[in-house]
Structure 1
């Protein structure tokens, strides 16, 4: 025991391990929901959750016992480690019910499914989802819903603090706003949680009233608000293709998930037009409207009725841009222009402070501002031009963060695509698989991993590579890469 105590103090691992154990306790509590449902139904999958509970609680209890009495105050270096390890550890333990339960997935498949859920990517290896127990379906939805709120907290509170990928831009904005509106900084997280829960309940009621059965409404509401994209059917939202009201409701709630949640809180408290005044939101809405009209017009010219073309285009474009990953149709069959549009949209993502993945709209907007200023300098070499975004001056620190993130984002996609091609996958599958993993979108392109397929047929090595890509994309890449530098580990 003295040696273990010395190890904890010398490495600084104690506080990190203790917080990870607390997170596992929270995960075990969430596991009780599908367990109770399965016990009521008398389904044999209940044993899978009993075993998972036992393993999770046992590991958490052991770590809490070993780290008892430690101070939980974290230094920046420990924050980097905790941010990465929390997603890795939770994904590992969340996979247990799918190993012990009816899907009886292999380790590779189970971890892939749980990583995809908790990072709200939405890629799946499951076939025959329609026949799974309600407990497993509920667990898939819960993983995404919990991952969604975790992503918001990370994007607002942790990543700006770590100065990752230009997210520093939003730390000042959040702190200024919290000082004016909320009595304590901790009130931000609480207020966002209330908004997230409220929108999720509203989505459940809306789906139910529009014609979904109650259980489907619950699960799809969780995956819509988390922009996760797991559905209760192999055909995803294709089962509701003949119910346009449900598709348009999904468009609305996916869009809500892709907007900054701090703006929802401000809207509730100030009753102002804060959402529309935000430059990110305006950019996202303009992008969605333009691409939807373009693609709907393209399909209308090709003989598809206008109403159907508009509904299907809006649903699938919002799904991809917000990185939800639902599919109401196989859009790879809509023609070459559609395939090209969806591939480019894979990289965009929603707004900062949302549940969406991708590069985020603000980075593209800042890139355009930088490009315009560079063109001005070519004409007026001695000119001084202010660079402003959302009414704030862009500092060199933010610009460096945006450039570094964008560079490493595309390098990560390129390296991952090359690795997948070494596994024998074709170019379309490799490139779109890498892009959809790092951007946390869900479906790729092509016959194998496209919106009408899944990732089950990929080699295990490819699935592990995609898991790394999903985690790196969700953690804004630099959070993970910094752990690989020798400088980080030097005292």
Structure 2
């Protein structure tokens, strides 16, 4: 058993040291601006550092290779570790959160969900605001890295679609792992810097611009005020729309662009489908609000575009309480909650490629009902898709709704009202942020939920972020007998 866990301890120890370094960022900033809460980050770093060193000591060995069983364990344990370290300073402040609230807030941050238990966000110390944003920024980077490196190896997720496109790509165009990691970090950092600069030029203060840039590109949704993005101008909302869309696109396309320097590499079936769905939903919502409710065109278009993009990219920002727009609008936002962004992006949700594959699979089955002897192949970006990728998408979809039903029932058993329980389960599994209703809607938060419900939702957020199968396989007896 120690042989199984030793490499996992080593990697988790390294992650703990990285988190220790990140804790020093809000600590130093708090010290400079004379925020007394900097001490909480200093103490948290003091706890994280020896813990990381101990795990490295337990896991150190001359040479090791991670097999698939160890990667399944590492993926789950690393996100749990990051969440608990992220919760430390939230429990050590002068006005501490409880263990349940701190873990919920940290899990929501590191999974880029954006749900919160905090009221009066604008009154929080700047070091705490910066830490919440940093959690989401690092979580977004971790999501992309996991999607393009670990999940394809584990035969989970949509980035395996890139592996089916060309053997030439995997052998010549794809950089070695460390080069790809460097380019991914460079692209992610550059997009964040450009986003922050655009926010600042459009009128945000420097602190707000930095925080919102990190939570926009990571499609996380933590804001620096209870009003979310509703207190900013229309120009800032449109900037946010652009960068949320960028965050919702496959980052492998950006790596390709940096490697090959040809705009044609951005042509991708999933990206086109994602953009098409977004434009369609914006058009439908704007039409309904303008024609049937008599709302002004440009103002409606701005808020419809912002809130649709925020929900479908699972960012969770809100410019207004869209649940007041009528039942049709609520239904449209409810549907958008499931879709999510592209695989290999910072977004959550079921992912666009699964809907595309499911549609093609359904069309193929309909065709075979009429022509039972025909031989057809489901294609993506012009290339045939192996049956195991389609089977993985079907298995994920089935498991998603099973877990959704189970989570909803557990929450209702904890005396959580049904709409709150149902939409809370959805928003946790899809990593969106706000749910529906007065309690956890865009104008509310999760503070009033029972502590046990917060733990359930925290687990659901991690399940959703790790594509469900990665965690659920750990509950299988065959995994431990392997």
TM-score tier (shorter): over 0.9
Indicate conservation of the 8 Å contact 2:247/2:346, yes or no: yes
Stretches of structure 1 that go unaligned for 5 or more consecutive residues are 1-6
Within-5 A mapping of 1:239-388 = 239-240=231-232, 243-274=233-264, 276-301=266-291, 302-388=293-379
Q: Unmatched 5+ residue regions in structure 2? A: none
2:411 maps to 1:420? yes
Q: Note closer, same or farther for the CA distance 1:187–1:387 as it changes in structure 2 (3 Å cut).
A: same
Q: Distance in 1 between matches of 2:301 and 2:421?
A: 30
Map 1:89-238 onto structure 2 (within 5 A): 89-165=81-157, 167-173=159-165, 176-238=168-230
Contact 1:444 1:451 in 2 (8 A): yes
- Length-normalised TM-score, structure 1: 0.95
Number of the residue aligned with 1:455: 446
- SS state at 1:346 partner: helix
Q: Residues of 2 paired with 1:8 and 1:272: CA distance?
A: 48
Match of 2:473 among 460, 470, 482: 482
Per the TM alignment, residue 172 of structure 1 is displaced from its structure 2 partner at its CA by 4.2
Change (3 A) 1:337 1:24: same
Partner Cα distance (1:408, 1:462) in 2: 21
Q: CA deviation at 1:226?
A: 0.4
Q: Is 1:465 aligned with 2:459?
A: no
The reply on whether 1:26 has 2:18 as its aligned counterpart is yes
1:174 positional shift: 8.6
| 2-structure distance, mates of 1:186, 1:57 | 25
Partner Cα distance (1:167, 1:251) in 2 = 24
SS at match of 1:442: coil
Q: 1-side partners of 2:453 and 2:342: how far apart?
A: 29
Q: Distance between the aligned counterparts of 1:120 and 1:175, measured in 2?
A: 33
1:68 matched to 2:50? The reply is: no
Partner of 1:429: 420
Structure 1 residues 319 and 183: CA distance shift in structure 2, 3 A: closer
Residue-pair matches, total: 481
Secondary structure, counterpart of 1:235 in structure 2: coil
In structure 2, the partner of 1:42 is: 34
Structure 2 counterparts to residues 7-26 of structure 1, below 5 A? 8-9=2-3, 12-26=4-18
Aligned equivalents of 1:195, 1:165: Cα separation in 2: 22
Report the CA distance between 1:244 and its aligned residue: 0.6
Matched, 1:402 2:393: yes
The one of 393, 408, 419 aligned to 2:384? 393
Q: 1:185 to 1:21 in 2, by over 3 A?
A: closer
Aligned CA-pair RMSD? 1.5
Equivalent residue, structure 1, for 2:434: 443
The Cα shift of 1:165 comes to 4.7
How far does residue 190 in structure 1 lie from its aligned partner after superposition? 1.5
* Shift in alpha-carbon separation, 1:42–1:267, aligned structure 2, 3 A: same
Query: Does the Cα contact within 8 Å between 2:159 and 2:344 map onto a contact in 1?
Result: no
When normalised by structure 2's length, the TM-score is 0.97
Residues 452 and 61 (structure 1), Cα distance of their counterparts in 2 relative to 1, 3 Å cut? same
- 1:231–1:326 contact (8 Å) kept in structure 2: yes
Q: Give the stretch that moved more between structures: 462-471 or 40-49.
A: 40-49
Contact 1:203 1:253 (C-alpha < 8 Å) held by counterparts: yes
Residues in 2 aligned to 1:339 and 1:76: alpha-carbon distance in whole angstroms? 42
Separation (CA, whole Å) in 2 of partners of 1:127 and 1:430: 20
